[in-house]
Amino acid sequence: MTMGTFEAAPIPEKPGVLFPEIASAEDKFRTCLQCGVCTGGCPMGEVMDFAPRQAVKMLLDGRFGEVVESNTPWLCIACHTCATRCPRQLLISDSLFPALRAAVMAAGKPLDQDLQKALQNTYLYGNPMGESPRKRAEWAKTAGVPVPIVSQIKRPVDVLWIVECYPSFEPRNQEISRKLARILNALGVDFAILGHEERCMGDCEWLAGERGLFEMLIERNIEILSKYRFKQILMTDPHSYRTLRNVYPALGGRFVVKHVVQFLAERLSQLKPLLKKQMDVTVTYHDSCCLGRKTGHYDEPRALLQALPGVKLVEMIQNRESSLCCGGGATTIYLDRFIQDRVKDRLADRRVEQAAATKAEILAVACPFEPSRFEDAVKVTGQEGKLLVQDILELLAESMGLA
């Protein structure tokens, strides 16, 4: 029994064949006004061979293949500014770019090696770093408070906390995870985590155009989540949060999902008396793309920061809907080297310079990609010692005496 070779598919002029989302979206793309608002707001447009408006035009003109061959597919950072501003509400970053990337993969073109490694690791181990899935809950051992694993406690819980990859494995984020465990404990929240059963939620894989890997992760995650009884899911990663909230339902996974800023803002009256330490500090807040433009949580993080005693909140020149991406969205957190060779200055550096211009002492964030990216940018831009990057959870823990 033998079989023929699988030929690499030719680059299709009709991308819907490869990426079902865009087949239904294509008609909608025909309503494009070619107004250029997408390109105007795109922080990467100037270095793309075909900026978003042009890419849409080429799709409609049957010249999709030329865009697939260009540098454009890998330069979208999925900040979603284009889609948010588009008068026709075309999902450029969520459908056109994943379709471009899927086409690159289907044509068997070589991938960036960092990205390929991340995808292979996610396939094998359920996380892009290539860490052992058995060690997913190691961080919790030093949390100082119980962090129950849902399969072990054998009872329904109020809150299932999906910790996600960076907060589980990356040392800087593990610290933040431990602080959240203490905050939840102090608030008396009945919570548990999935432990070794947890896998990547798939946001990056979807945006990378790795449709098959995304579906595999979703199937497995829905199967695992369906085993347990809980009232709501809590997440700190905005990317996974918006995917679980906005994409999973259409694929059979319906859950009540809250991002931690939303979850804690709902408990502000309970939280406030616990915020004892006077902070006396000026803070500026970075709206991450998925928590801001994608899910509209602009007010909750600010409410939490303003609840901290002695915090003065100031805004950067680009804030809320116009916030500037850190440059790590979608898959681009694995494409730093590829992108760095093509841009004049990195978005994270530009963003930190905006933060420094406010004279704030703290750049507050609520996304696991930010601490390492912005701390690196703080060093690169010479702000070390002047600007401190802190997750909102770290500031809350400090004021609660849990740091």
Partner 1 sequence: MNIAVLAKQVPDLVEGLEIDASGKALDPDSLRYILSETDDHALEEALLIKERVGGRVEVFSLEVGEVREALYAALAKGADRAVLAQTEGEVRLDNHTLARIFADLLGRGSYDLVLTGVRAIDDLDGSLGGLLAGYLGLPYVGLVRKVEIASDSATAIVEKEYPGSYAAELEVRLPAVLGIQAAEQPPRYVPVSRLRQVMKTAKVEVQDASLPEVLPVAVERLSQPEEGAGAAMLSGNPEEIARQIVDLLSERRLVG
Nearer to partner 1 by Cβ, of 229 and 379: the residue is 379
Nearer to partner 1 by Cβ, of 170 and 300: the residue is 170
Residues in region 115-174 near partner 1 by CB under 8 A: 116, 119-120, 123-125, 130-132, 134
Nearer to partner 1 by Cβ, of 82 and 115: the residue is 115
Structure-block tokens of residue 280: 């006396």
**Residue from 59, 78, 83, 105 that binds partner 1 (CB under 8 A)?**
105
Q: Decide: is 211 part of the binding site for partner 1 (CB under 8 A).
A: yes
Count of residues that bind partner 1 according to CB under 8 A: 29
The window from 104-112, 178-186, 268-276, 292-300 that contacts partner 1 (CB under 8 A) reads 104-112
What is the number of alpha carbons within 13 Å of residue 66 lying toward its C-beta? 14
CB 95, min distance to partner 1, A: 17
Q: Decide: is 33 part of the binding site for partner 1 (CB under 8 A).
A: no
Residues in region 316-355 near partner 1 by CB under 8 A: none
The window from 205-213, 302-310, 363-371, 395-403 that contacts partner 1 (CB under 8 A) reads 205-213
Structure-block tokens of residue 35: 């107004």
Cβ partners under 8 Å of residue 225, min gap 6: 160, 233, 253, 255
Q: Decide: is 385 part of the binding site for partner 1 (CB under 8 A).
A: no
The window from 48-56, 105-113, 264-272, 352-360 that contacts partner 1 (CB under 8 A) reads 105-113
Give the count of beta carbons closer than 10 Å to the beta carbon of residue 131.
17
Q: C-alpha angle 366/216/162, rounded to 5°? A: 30
As a whole number of angstroms, the distance between CA 317 and CA 309 comes to 25
**Residue from 25, 96, 106, 366 that binds partner 1 (CB under 8 A)?**
106
**Residue from 175, 197, 210, 237 that binds partner 1 (CB under 8 A)?**
210
- DSSP lists the bridge partners of residue 311 as 281
Nearer to partner 1 by Cβ, of 134 and 342: the residue is 134
Look up tokens 């709902």; give the residue: 266
**Residue from 11, 204, 213, 234 that binds partner 1 (CB under 8 A)?**
213
Using CB atoms within 10 Å of the CB of residue 27, give its burial: 0 to 12 exposed, 13 to 18 middle, 19+ buried.
exposed
Stated as kind and residue range, the H or E segment containing 232 is strand 230-235
Nearer to partner 1 by Cβ, of 18 and 163: the residue is 18
CB 1, min distance to partner 1, A: 5
Q: Decide: is 111 part of the binding site for partner 1 (CB under 8 A).
A: yes
Edge-to-edge strands, sheet with 230-235:
191-193, 157-162, 230-235, 257-259
Phi, psi dihedrals of residue 27, rounded to the nearest 5°: -60, -40
The window from 111-119, 193-201, 302-310, 334-342 that contacts partner 1 (CB under 8 A) reads 111-119
CB 38 within 8 A of CB 76: no
Q: Decide: is 110 part of the binding site for partner 1 (CB under 8 A).
A: yes
CB 159 within 8 A of CB 123: no
Nearer to partner 1 by Cβ, of 42 and 115: the residue is 115
Residues in region 1-20 near partner 1 by CB under 8 A: 1-6
Stated as kind and residue range, the H or E segment containing 184 is helix 171-186
Cβ partners under 8 Å of residue 243, min gap 6: 201, 202, 203, 206
Nearer to partner 1 by Cβ, of 123 and 228: the residue is 123
CB 202, min distance to partner 1, A: 11
DSSP 73-113: GGT-----HHHHH-TT---IIIIIHHHHHHHHHHTTPPPPH
Applying CB under 8 A, the residues found at the interface with partner 1 are: 1-6, 102, 105-106, 108, 110-111, 113, 116, 119-120, 123-125, 130-132, 134, 210-213, 215-216
